Amino acid sequence: MTRFTLLLCLLLSANLPAQAATVSRVEPENWWIGMKHRQVELLVHGDGIAALSPRLSHPGVRIVDVQATENPNYLFVTVDIGEDAAPGTFDLELLDGDTVAARHPWRIDAREPAPPRGFDASDAIYLVTPDRFANGDPGNDIVAGLKEAADRANPNGRHGGDIAGLRAHLDYIAGLGFTRLWPTPLLANDQPGYSYHGYAITDLYRIDPRFGSNDDYVALAREARAHGIGLIMDVVLNHIGSEHWWMHDLPSRDWINHGGRFAPNNHRRTTIQDPHAAPGDRAGFTDGWFVESMPDLNQRNPHLARYLIQNTLWWIESAGLAGIREDTFGYADADFLSAWAKAVMDEYPDFAMVGEEWSANPAIVAHWQRGKANASGHVPHMTSMMDFPVHIALRDALLRPKVWEGDWTPLYEALANDFLYPDPDALVVFAENHDSSRLLAHLDGDIHLWKLGMAYVATTRGLPQFYYGSEVLLRGPRERNDGELRADMPGGWAGDAANAFTGEGLSAQQRDAQDFVRRLFNWRKDTPTMHVGKLRHYAPVDGVYVYFRLDGDKAVMIALNRNDEDTALRLDRFADSLGRARAGTDALTGRRVALGDTLLLPAKTPLILELDTAP
């Protein structure tokens, strides 16, 4: 090549347009006009895009900040959405000089009517593991490109339950008396195995295709509302799955704790509140990985913190959610947890959120509830927490020997700790969940004790949570084994020998248990005293625990008899709660019950009496 030819090539190449770049993702994909959170930071990902300059042109929308990290494949672009913005789709352009090197569509929408109210003590929650509830669409059991296919014979594999199965049985859930539905996570979980449970998320903006689509999820929320059921989303802020797309190209070196390398969590949850805790122990709790397949997120990174906050707001607004259940709550950075919950409650003042703090110590759980004045200075904004102290005490009380400080005493004393909570009436009470053995297995199959436990959950303060399938006596192993306790719902798959939804093939014992749950929770739903009535309990005596729910001139008396024989209960001790009532109606049978000097309690049976109003 001559010197002239080389010079000519250089001159021509200088005038060529920049090589086109590709934007692989912009998250979130849209936002709304009129949100309090009006400045939205877009995570933009694509090869080498950090060298480009973003531009957009749409009335009322402008770019107010652009930041890059050490990874050249990311830009964080903050856009401001004014009140005068118009709904529509437009391009986010990335410029190399004056040339558009890449573009990606983005959208702003008009807001739907305000999401439904959150949840409170007037509600009852039905918890499901969607993969094990009902297979409404067998066509998505195997999805090309995803690592794990359905294998119903494998207790730890995917079984094929999906959103279509949930939608098909909303009338069943409502008919049992439940007003809120909490599915464990439905987001993408493209892990090589053990992916059915959903807690190792690989895409925070996408429903797993084996469950359905984002549109299917929105339809589930809409149809649930039509059945009087609000949808609660299970949110995971602490970690992601090891196959999350971030793990193949981290946005920054500090995106994942311990530099993206596995470091096991010490699970020392007391270190957050402990004034004497060593800094290393505290960091070992907040920064350690739950397991190797769940990389631990560093919410101290401001871009990640903003991403997680916006992701939660996006799902609430997209689906019209009625609540959030937040997984492994205390494991995340405490300052971030405060900022995240505040952002949600600022945007949706009538919303509700419940956090999982798996501790028997009520002081540890109370630390996180809104209104708690903490010595550490931490300001919480969670409306509710899962009541693990009562959960643990209830399971203990149902099996404890009848000795001094035996039988019901652990439960009675657990409630005495309610002074620690800013709002104990907002706590979520449960006998079992997806992480515990089922109550029936814990009680070695004793259905009478099981009914006592379920009656307690439905009648104590707070709002109850019930785990799917227990109404037809799904049992599972006594020692925790997740794949087996999260068993398939009978009738959720074509060809099942029994069907919980129709009653076909159920045993007499299963039908009785299902009817018990249906009567109990429908009665609770229709009885305002159980929603707002003050709880007054009496120290357990001789295997009997008595408490009242009192609301003005309305009163409900609950007597739980753990004895193997009928027990005569003297009533003079309860005169201050009984008032002048001389009779009541059994809430579960409708029979009239006279109140004299004594009340005969059937063996191992709950008695729930709606007392007559005194004249």
Q: Which two tokens stand for residue 210?
A: 């084996």
Q: Which of 96, 137, 296, 356 is catalytic?
A: 356
- Cα distances (angstroms) measured from residue 511 to each of 225, 437, 460, 473: 27, 22, 25, 9
Whether the Cβ atoms of residue 255 and residue 297 lie closer than 8 Å to each other = yes
Whether the Cβ atoms of residue 412 and residue 358 lie closer than 8 Å to each other = no
Q: Which two tokens stand for residue 456?
A: 């307690």
Short-list 595, 294, 545, 599, CA closest to 398: 545
SS3 179: coil
SS3 285: helix
190 is catalytic: no
Residue 385 neighbours by CB under 8 Å, 6+ apart? 329, 354, 355, 356, 357, 365, 366, 368, 369, 427, 428
Q: Which two tokens stand for residue 356?
A: 């999982």
Q: Which two tokens stand for residue 132?
A: 């094990």
What are the start-end ranges of the E strands in 110-201? 125-128, 180-183, 187-188
- List the beta bridge partners of residue 536: 548
State the SS3 of 364-420: HHHCCECCCCCCCCCCCCECEEECHHHHHHHHHHCCCCCCCCCCCHHHHHHHHHHHH
Side-chain-side CA neighbours of residue 410 (13 Å): 19
SS3 146: coil
208 is catalytic: no
- List the beta bridge partners of residue 610: 556, 585
Residue in the structure block whose two tokens are 């009928």 = 566
Calculate helix-pair angle for 388-397, 447-459, nearest 10 degrees.
150
Whether the Cβ atoms of residue 184 and residue 141 lie closer than 8 Å to each other = no
Strand order across the 544-551 sheet: 534-541, 544-551, 554-561, 605-611, 583-586, 592-594
Q: Which amino acid is at 92?
A: L
Element (H, E) at 197: none
* Whole-number Å distance between alpha carbons of 187 and 211: 8
- At residue 592, φ and ψ (nearest 5 deg) are -85, 140
State the SS3 of 425-492: HHCEEECCCCCCCCHHHHCCCCHHHHHHHHHHHHHCCCEEEEECCHHHCCCCCCCCCHHHHCCCCCCC
Q: Which two tokens stand for residue 562?
A: 């753990």
Q: Which of 208, 327, 488, 610 is catalytic?
A: 327
Active-site residues, by number, are 327, 356
